[in-house]
Amino acid sequence: MDRDLYEILGVPRTASADDLKKAHRTLVRKFHPDVNKEPGAAARFKEIQEAYDVLADDEKRKRYDQFGMAGVRAGPTGGANGGGAPGADPFGGASPFGGGGQGWQNVDPSTFEEVFGSMFGGGRARGGRGRGAGGFGGFEEAEAGPQKGRDLAMEETVDFTTAALGGKRSITVNGQGIQLSIPAGTLDGARLAVRGKGSAGASGGPAGDLIVTVRVAPHPWLRREGDDLVMDVPLTIAEAALGTSIKVPLLSGSVQMRIPPGVKSGQRLRVKGKGIQPAKGQPGDFHAVIAIEAPKDLDARGRELVEELAPRLASPRSGPQWRE
């Protein structure tokens, strides 16, 4: 990389870690291959990533500020006598640029050429011996291996029925349409991964993943308890007293449910296997929670009939707490 790393990120050399992070985020949003399809955008994005990888690392940034990319490629090095204090000459002796060149008096000219070749862009020939592989800690151009891109995270709200029965959901990420598969029985808060739809990888590495946190919208009359479905079923006084048979709606289709005589409010009636069928495992059950509703607007004849019936009904307040 020949360009100045600070210039690539558009920050001064005195930039703080927060300044670097803000500049990096801005440039990534602008040049990410998923967003910017212009020619050269991918190469620019890679250049930005490589610059940030160096400057965001305190040790690498220190070496870069002092010796440029040659110092970054070389890694931490000490002096000839095991030195390496801050500001020490990385060649282990007097500076090669001053003091009569004392640090190079006993160095073979070919080694001198190798080290300077590496410092000024030589690097290692592919398949051959690295430049500077002699006693200088290796000023070879260490190429970073393939790195997986960062994962992206988002939330998506789906309707109750899709979460319960499973289905597809169209979402848009960085301007790209993606089909999200919702497995049957998906719970609120579940995290689904879409492979390869995150940030682009570096140096030929794979892209990261898209991690979607699913939020399930409530159903107008059903609620979920594990894999069981629960529904409040209203009955008239007559239906509760005499018993009846009613059609109850489910997520898919309906079920004919028999209501026994004398059923009470709050009582649960179960239909086995009519709950949620998850992608793996056994289906849950359906539970009807009985809610007896007294009439509010009786006509004269209706009120007369209820008054006639009232003395025939046993009081429900027969427990000891109701006795004086």
Q: Taking the alpha carbons of 295, 296, 300, 303 in that order, is the dihedral positive or negative?
A: positive
The three-class DSSP label of residue 256 is strand
User: What is the separation, in whole angstroms, between the first and last Cα of the chain?
Assistant: 94
What's the rounded Cα separation, in Å, for the pair 25 and 212?
Answer: 21
Identity of residue 128? G
In this structure, the strands spanning 228-235 and 286-292 are parallel
Q: Which domains does the chain have, with CATH numbers?
A: 5-119 (1.10.287.110), 152-216 (2.60.260.20), 222-312 (2.60.260.20)
The residue ranges of the chain whose pLDDT is under 50 are 78-142
Q: Tokens for 306, please give them.
A: 């209820």
Which pLDDT score is estimated for 204? 86
Radius of gyration of the chain (CA): 37
Identity of residue 234? P
229 and 289 in contact (C-beta within 8 Å)?
no
129-142 pLDDT per residue, tens: 444 444 444 444 44
What's the rounded Cα separation, in Å, for the pair 75 and 135?
Answer: 14
What's the rounded Cα separation, in Å, for the pair 30 and 23?
Answer: 11
Residues 238-257, buried b or exposed e (16+ Cβ, 10 A)? ebbeeebeeebeebeeeeeb
Which pLDDT score is estimated for 82? 40
Q: Is 70 exposed, middle or buried (0-12, 13-18, 19+ CB in 10 A)?
A: buried
Q: Could you tell me the pTM of the whole model?
A: 0.52
Strand ranges (E), the chain? 152-158, 167-173, 176-182, 191-194, 210-216, 222-225, 228-235, 244-249, 254-259, 268-271, 286-292
What's the rounded Cα separation, in Å, for the pair 15 and 56?
Answer: 11
The torsion angle over the Cα atoms of residues 106, 108, 111 and 113, rounded to 10 degrees, is: 110
Residue 56: CB atoms within 10 A of its CB come to: 14
Q: Is 313 exposed, middle or buried (0-12, 13-18, 19+ CB in 10 A)?
A: exposed
Q: Taking the alpha carbons of 5, 7, 12, 13 in that order, is the dihedral positive or negative?
A: positive
